[in-house]
Structure 1
Amino acid sequence: MHKRKANTNWYVITGGPSTGKTTVINMLEKRGYKTTIEHARHYIDTMRTEGQTVEEIRNNKRKFQLGVLDMQIEQEAAIQPKDLVFLDRAIPDAMAYYQFLMLDYDEKLLSAVINTSYRKIFILDRLPFTKDYARTEDEEDQKKIHQLIIDVYTSLGFPIVTVPVLPPTERVEYILNNIS
């Protein structure tokens, strides 16, 4: 495993489903930090307005993953490397989801991952699992995806900070105390 040198001022907020990412990102945004949106949910919302159900969207797993990946690549390409930004998930998260869905990595994903650069990866510890309209996973899936995300970022050599389960405000403080 090699240590990556960060060429950006970007911090990734990630973890399995139902770890509190959106809450943390929203609180960082309210404090005036630049943040990004989570693309899986955005993709689902976009397709739903075109009349598809969450089940229909999720059933074509490769199309879904590529749709989300395209949005993520486009978003990261639009951010200035010098800007301090908190990303709600990042391109390497797709590798964990491909593994979880037993899809082979495609060329687009591999070439996107090679070009990624993040200052730190904040992995939020798991909260009690909650179901919502966009989630098709259960608690076992949550655990598996969470571990795959940890494994992917570890194997890519990014510096990882584990964020413990704390009240949301304290989680945000924990993250802000760990940015360099």
Structure 2
Amino acid sequence: MPPIQTQWYVVAGSPSSGKTTVVHRLFLEGLRIIPEVPRAHAELEMAKGKTLHEIRGQPQIFQCAVVDLQILRERTLDPNETMVLDVGLLDMVPYCAMHGVKTDPIFEECKKRRYREIFLFDPLPFVRDHIRIEDSGMAAKIDREIEEAYRSMGYDPIRVPPLPLEKRVVFVLEHIQRAEKIREEFLSAVS
């Protein structure tokens, strides 16, 4: 069976690439946003009283949990609704590989659906926060591996350069608006 073509735009990238900041701004512009699963999962567990070490201290368990949650989330989203995902399933490949978690289930799941477009954010100067455990060297490696994962599934990610925030938001918005206009014209022509 051919994959389902979704209308989902994925904001992908390594830690500290500024993707979540841009996603928040896209929300303010009126786009439907699907928050990042790994960060949301970690923050939810911390709200329950767990420490970051307890949550991320067993990386295999953490990675399996976030992959399962991302798969569940994507299975329940409407493929025909335009939305922006703060990371896609393939963003998780480097983390799983790094911690010895099998990546085959990710690739198999990704054969069922196609994202509309991938925006791969170039890294910014690395900033640690209350969730990140990576460093700048690891972030650079993750960036390369995320791109490889998407390319291996036939995507040609649009690189978002390290511009000031407003220019990054405009860059992504303009691409989405162009793609949506083309989609509307196509749908009008076939109906």
SS at match of 2:71: helix
- Indicate conservation of the 8 Å contact 2:3/2:112, yes or no: no
Higher helix share: 2
CA drift of 1:144 comes to: 0.7
User: Match for residue 105 of structure 1?
Assistant: 103
Measured in 2, the distance between the counterparts of 1:32 and 1:73 equals 25
Q: What percentage of aligned pairs have identical amino acids? A: 34
Unaligned 5+ runs, structure 2:
180-191
Task: Map 1:44-63 to 2 at 5 A.
Answer: 44-63=42-61
After superposition, where does 1:31-42 map in structure 2 within 5 Å? 31-42=29-40
**What's the RMSD between the two structures over aligned residues?**
1.7
* Alpha carbons 1:11, 1:87 under 8 Å: kept: yes
Q: 1:6 to 1:172 in 2, by over 3 A?
A: farther
Which of 113, 116, 121 aligns to 2:113? It is 116
Contact between 1:15 and 1:146, CA under 8 Å: does it hold in 2?
Answer: yes
What's the CA shift string for 1:85-124, capped at 9, x where partnerless?
A: 11000111121211233433364x3432222310111001
Task: Could you tell me which runs of 5 or more consecutive residues in structure 1 were left unpaired when the two chains were aligned.
Answer: none
Give 2:66's match in structure 1, choosing from 65, 68, 90: 68
Pick the structure with greater CA Rg: 2
Aligned residue pair count: 176
Q: Paired residue for 2:127?
A: 130
AA matched with 1:134: I
2:156 maps to which of 147, 159, 175:
159
Where does structure 1 differ by over 6 angstroms across 4 or more consecutive aligned residues?
none
- TM-score with structure 2 length normalisation? 0.86
Question: Whole-Å Cα distance in 2 between the matches of residues 11 and 105 of structure 1?
Answer: 22
Structure 1 stretch displaced more, 121-130 or 94-103: 94-103
| Alignment check: 8 A CA contact 1:123 1:163 kept | yes
Shift of 1:39: 1.1
Give the TM-score of the pair, scaled to structure 1.
Answer: 0.91
Cα distance in 1 for partners of 2:48, 2:104 equals: 27
Tell me, what secondary structure is at the counterpart of 2:159? strand
Q: State the SS of the aligned residue for 2:113.
A: coil
